[in-house]
Amino acid sequence: MAAAAGIALVATLATAQQRPPGGGRERMAAAPNPSAIVSAELAFARLARERGQWTAFRETAEDDAIMFLPDTVNAQAWLRKRPDPAQAVAWSPRAVYVSCDGGYGVSTGPWTQADGSTGTFTTIWRRQRKGSFKWILDFGSDQPFAAASNDDLLIDGKVADCPARGGPDRVRNNERLPVVPIPNPPPASGEGQSNDGTLRWRWTNGPDGRTLDVMMRYQGEERQVIRESVAAAPAP
Protein backbone atom coordinates (compact mmCIF):
# COMPACT_ATOMS: atom_id res chain seq x y z
CA MET A 1 0.00 0.00 0.00
CA ALA A 2 2.86 2.42 0.75
CA ALA A 3 4.31 1.82 -2.71
CA ALA A 4 0.96 2.45 -4.36
CA ALA A 5 0.48 5.64 -2.37
CA GLY A 6 3.94 6.87 -3.37
CA ILE A 7 3.25 6.17 -7.02
CA ALA A 8 -0.08 7.99 -6.94
CA LEU A 9 1.43 10.96 -5.12
CA VAL A 10 4.26 11.41 -7.62
CA ALA A 11 1.89 11.19 -10.59
CA THR A 12 -0.61 13.59 -9.00
CA LEU A 13 2.07 16.15 -8.24
CA ALA A 14 3.27 15.96 -11.84
CA THR A 15 -0.25 16.66 -13.04
CA ALA A 16 -0.70 19.57 -10.64
CA GLN A 17 2.37 21.30 -12.10
CA GLN A 18 0.83 21.43 -15.59
CA ARG A 19 -2.15 23.71 -16.23
CA PRO A 20 -3.84 24.77 -19.43
CA PRO A 21 -3.44 28.41 -20.45
CA GLY A 22 -5.47 30.74 -18.27
CA GLY A 23 -4.79 28.96 -14.97
CA GLY A 24 -6.91 25.92 -15.81
CA ARG A 25 -10.13 27.79 -16.63
CA GLU A 26 -10.23 26.49 -20.20
CA ARG A 27 -12.14 23.17 -20.42
CA MET A 28 -10.45 20.41 -22.38
CA ALA A 29 -11.51 17.11 -23.98
CA ALA A 30 -10.12 15.15 -21.01
CA ALA A 31 -8.10 16.01 -17.92
CA PRO A 32 -4.44 15.01 -18.38
CA ASN A 33 -3.71 12.56 -15.58
CA PRO A 34 -0.42 10.62 -15.37
CA SER A 35 -1.77 8.51 -12.49
CA ALA A 36 -4.43 7.07 -14.83
CA ILE A 37 -1.68 5.79 -17.14
CA VAL A 38 0.24 4.40 -14.15
CA SER A 39 -2.91 2.60 -12.98
CA ALA A 40 -3.57 1.17 -16.45
CA GLU A 41 -0.01 -0.16 -16.75
CA LEU A 42 0.00 -1.66 -13.25
CA ALA A 43 -3.38 -3.31 -13.87
CA PHE A 44 -2.05 -4.68 -17.17
CA ALA A 45 0.98 -6.24 -15.43
CA ARG A 46 -1.18 -7.64 -12.62
CA LEU A 47 -3.57 -9.21 -15.12
CA ALA A 48 -0.61 -10.91 -16.81
CA ARG A 49 0.47 -12.43 -13.50
CA GLU A 50 -3.03 -13.56 -12.55
CA ARG A 51 -4.61 -14.54 -15.87
CA GLY A 52 -1.67 -15.18 -18.19
CA GLN A 53 0.60 -13.03 -20.33
CA TRP A 54 -1.12 -13.15 -23.72
CA THR A 55 -4.56 -13.13 -22.12
CA ALA A 56 -3.64 -9.80 -20.50
CA PHE A 57 -2.27 -8.40 -23.75
CA ARG A 58 -5.41 -9.42 -25.62
CA GLU A 59 -7.86 -8.01 -23.06
CA THR A 60 -6.15 -4.61 -22.76
CA ALA A 61 -5.33 -3.95 -26.43
CA GLU A 62 -7.27 -1.77 -28.84
CA ASP A 63 -8.49 -3.37 -32.07
CA ASP A 64 -5.78 -1.52 -34.03
CA ALA A 65 -2.95 -2.10 -31.51
CA ILE A 66 0.43 -3.18 -32.87
CA MET A 67 3.33 -5.31 -31.62
CA PHE A 68 6.81 -6.07 -33.00
CA LEU A 69 7.65 -9.80 -33.26
CA PRO A 70 9.99 -8.68 -34.91
CA ASP A 71 7.66 -7.83 -37.83
CA THR A 72 5.07 -5.13 -37.15
CA VAL A 73 1.78 -7.00 -36.60
CA ASN A 74 -1.77 -6.27 -35.55
CA ALA A 75 -1.82 -7.35 -31.90
CA GLN A 76 -5.37 -8.75 -31.79
CA ALA A 77 -4.79 -10.86 -34.91
CA TRP A 78 -1.54 -12.27 -33.53
CA LEU A 79 -2.88 -12.82 -30.01
CA ARG A 80 -6.04 -14.64 -31.10
CA LYS A 81 -6.01 -18.09 -29.43
CA ARG A 82 -2.33 -17.63 -28.51
CA PRO A 83 -1.55 -19.88 -25.49
CA ASP A 84 -0.10 -18.17 -22.42
CA PRO A 85 3.48 -18.98 -21.40
CA ALA A 86 3.96 -20.85 -18.13
CA GLN A 87 5.21 -17.67 -16.43
CA ALA A 88 4.46 -14.14 -17.53
CA VAL A 89 7.06 -11.46 -17.97
CA ALA A 90 7.05 -8.94 -15.09
CA TRP A 91 7.16 -5.18 -15.61
CA SER A 92 6.35 -1.86 -13.95
CA PRO A 93 6.27 1.76 -15.14
CA ARG A 94 8.96 4.21 -14.09
CA ALA A 95 8.14 7.18 -16.37
CA VAL A 96 4.85 8.42 -17.85
CA TYR A 97 4.17 11.11 -20.46
CA VAL A 98 0.66 12.43 -21.17
CA SER A 99 -0.70 14.69 -23.91
CA CYS A 100 -2.18 18.04 -22.87
CA ASP A 101 -5.69 16.95 -23.84
CA GLY A 102 -5.39 13.77 -21.73
CA GLY A 103 -6.31 11.51 -24.63
CA TYR A 104 -3.00 9.66 -24.97
CA GLY A 105 -0.24 8.57 -22.63
CA VAL A 106 3.07 6.72 -22.82
CA SER A 107 4.55 4.58 -20.06
CA THR A 108 8.01 3.05 -19.96
CA GLY A 109 10.10 1.05 -17.51
CA PRO A 110 11.97 -2.22 -16.94
CA TRP A 111 10.77 -5.75 -17.68
CA THR A 112 12.12 -9.06 -16.34
CA GLN A 113 11.70 -12.54 -17.80
CA ALA A 114 11.44 -15.73 -15.75
CA ASP A 115 15.04 -16.60 -16.76
CA GLY A 116 16.29 -13.33 -15.26
CA SER A 117 16.84 -11.48 -18.54
CA THR A 118 15.80 -7.83 -18.46
CA GLY A 119 15.14 -4.90 -20.76
CA THR A 120 12.92 -1.90 -21.37
CA PHE A 121 9.28 -1.69 -22.42
CA THR A 122 7.25 1.19 -23.79
CA THR A 123 3.45 1.22 -24.04
CA ILE A 124 1.32 3.84 -25.79
CA TRP A 125 -2.21 4.21 -24.38
CA ARG A 126 -5.39 5.70 -25.89
CA ARG A 127 -8.26 6.99 -23.75
CA GLN A 128 -11.62 5.30 -24.30
CA ARG A 129 -15.01 7.01 -24.49
CA LYS A 130 -15.83 6.25 -20.84
CA GLY A 131 -12.42 7.30 -19.52
CA SER A 132 -10.47 4.03 -19.30
CA PHE A 133 -7.36 3.37 -21.38
CA LYS A 134 -6.34 0.65 -23.85
CA TRP A 135 -2.91 0.28 -25.40
CA ILE A 136 -2.20 0.81 -29.09
CA LEU A 137 1.54 0.09 -29.29
CA ASP A 138 3.82 -2.22 -27.33
CA PHE A 139 7.56 -1.99 -27.88
CA GLY A 140 10.25 -3.90 -26.01
CA SER A 141 14.02 -3.98 -26.15
CA ASP A 142 16.78 -5.81 -24.30
CA GLN A 143 18.46 -2.51 -23.42
CA PRO A 144 18.66 -1.76 -19.66
CA PHE A 145 16.13 0.83 -18.52
CA ALA A 146 17.76 4.17 -17.79
CA ALA A 147 15.89 5.44 -14.73
CA ALA A 148 15.95 9.10 -13.75
CA SER A 149 15.96 8.02 -10.09
CA ASN A 150 17.33 5.02 -8.23
CA ASP A 151 14.19 4.95 -6.07
CA ASP A 152 11.94 2.18 -7.41
CA LEU A 153 8.91 3.83 -5.79
CA LEU A 154 9.25 7.05 -7.78
CA ILE A 155 7.55 7.43 -11.15
CA ASP A 156 8.44 10.43 -13.26
CA GLY A 157 5.14 11.85 -14.59
CA LYS A 158 5.03 14.69 -17.13
CA VAL A 159 2.13 16.39 -18.93
CA ALA A 160 2.74 18.09 -22.28
CA ASP A 161 2.44 21.86 -22.66
CA CYS A 162 -0.96 22.93 -23.93
CA PRO A 163 -1.29 24.81 -27.24
CA ALA A 164 -1.37 28.59 -26.88
CA ARG A 165 -4.81 30.01 -26.21
CA GLY A 166 -6.37 31.22 -29.44
CA GLY A 167 -3.66 29.59 -31.56
CA PRO A 168 -4.44 27.56 -34.68
CA ASP A 169 -3.79 24.28 -32.90
CA ARG A 170 -5.62 25.07 -29.64
CA VAL A 171 -7.40 22.28 -27.81
CA ARG A 172 -11.08 22.43 -28.75
CA ASN A 173 -13.47 22.82 -25.82
CA ASN A 174 -15.70 19.84 -25.01
CA GLU A 175 -15.24 18.33 -28.48
CA ARG A 176 -14.51 14.66 -29.04
CA LEU A 177 -11.53 14.77 -31.36
CA PRO A 178 -11.19 12.20 -34.15
CA VAL A 179 -9.17 9.03 -33.62
CA VAL A 180 -7.00 7.89 -36.52
CA PRO A 181 -6.68 4.08 -36.24
CA ILE A 182 -3.57 2.21 -37.29
CA PRO A 183 -4.29 0.26 -40.50
CA ASN A 184 -4.58 -3.53 -40.42
CA PRO A 185 -2.24 -4.96 -41.56
CA PRO A 186 -0.08 -2.22 -40.06
CA PRO A 187 2.79 -0.58 -41.95
CA ALA A 188 6.29 -1.77 -41.05
CA SER A 189 7.15 1.84 -40.17
CA GLY A 190 4.74 4.59 -39.24
CA GLU A 191 3.85 7.39 -36.88
CA GLY A 192 1.04 8.78 -34.78
CA GLN A 193 0.16 11.63 -32.45
CA SER A 194 -2.33 12.76 -29.85
CA ASN A 195 -5.32 14.66 -31.19
CA ASP A 196 -3.85 17.97 -30.01
CA GLY A 197 -0.39 17.25 -31.42
CA THR A 198 1.42 17.64 -28.08
CA LEU A 199 2.54 13.99 -27.94
CA ARG A 200 3.95 12.25 -31.03
CA TRP A 201 5.61 8.93 -31.79
CA ARG A 202 7.32 7.26 -34.72
CA TRP A 203 8.38 3.66 -35.26
CA THR A 204 10.68 2.18 -37.90
CA ASN A 205 11.13 -1.48 -38.65
CA GLY A 206 13.47 -2.71 -41.34
CA PRO A 207 16.42 -4.97 -42.16
CA ASP A 208 18.70 -3.09 -39.73
CA GLY A 209 16.32 -3.47 -36.77
CA ARG A 210 13.55 -1.37 -35.25
CA THR A 211 13.30 1.87 -33.31
CA LEU A 212 10.67 3.83 -31.39
CA ASP A 213 10.87 7.58 -30.81
CA VAL A 214 8.45 9.53 -28.61
CA MET A 215 8.38 13.34 -28.63
CA MET A 216 6.37 15.75 -26.51
CA ARG A 217 5.90 19.52 -26.27
CA TYR A 218 7.37 20.39 -22.88
CA GLN A 219 8.63 23.60 -21.27
CA GLY A 220 8.29 25.57 -24.47
CA GLU A 221 9.94 23.17 -26.89
CA GLU A 222 9.50 19.77 -28.46
CA ARG A 223 11.60 17.19 -26.63
CA GLN A 224 12.46 13.63 -27.43
CA VAL A 225 11.55 11.74 -24.25
CA ILE A 226 12.01 8.15 -25.46
CA ARG A 227 14.27 6.48 -28.00
CA GLU A 228 14.40 2.69 -27.99
CA SER A 229 16.13 0.53 -30.57
CA VAL A 230 16.58 -3.16 -31.28
CA ALA A 231 19.24 -4.38 -33.70
CA ALA A 232 18.31 -6.92 -36.32
CA ALA A 233 19.06 -10.54 -35.45
CA PRO A 234 22.33 -11.76 -37.00
CA ALA A 235 21.98 -13.87 -40.10
CA PRO A 236 22.23 -17.64 -39.42
Average pLDDT, the chain: 85
Of the two residues 22 and 77, the one the predictor is more confident about is 77
pLDDT at 159 over 70: yes
Identify the H or E element spanning 36.
Answer: helix 34-51
Q: How confident is the model at residue 234 (pLDDT cuts 50, 70, 90)?
A: confident
**pLDDT for 34-43, tens place per residue?**
999 999 999 9
**pLDDT for 11-22, tens place per residue?**
333 433 343 333
Q: Return the pLDDT at 177.
A: 61
Cα(159)–Cα(24) distance, integer angstroms: 13
Q: Return the pLDDT at 233.
A: 83
For residue 7, the tally of other CB atoms under 10 A from its CB is 23
**pLDDT for 95-143, tens place per residue?**
999 999 999 999 999 999 999 999 999 999 999 999 999 999 999 999 9
The full set of domains in the chain, from first to last, is 2-77+86-162 (3.10.450.50)
Query: Distance between terminal CA atoms of the chain?
Result: 49
Q: How confident is the model at residue 163 (pLDDT cuts 50, 70, 90)?
A: confident
Considering only 63-72, 74-83, 163-172, 195-204, which range has the smallest mean pLDDT? 163-172
pLDDT at 68 over 90: yes
169 strand-pairing partners: none
Q: Return the pLDDT at 93.
A: 97
Cα(182)–Cα(185) distance, integer angstroms: 8
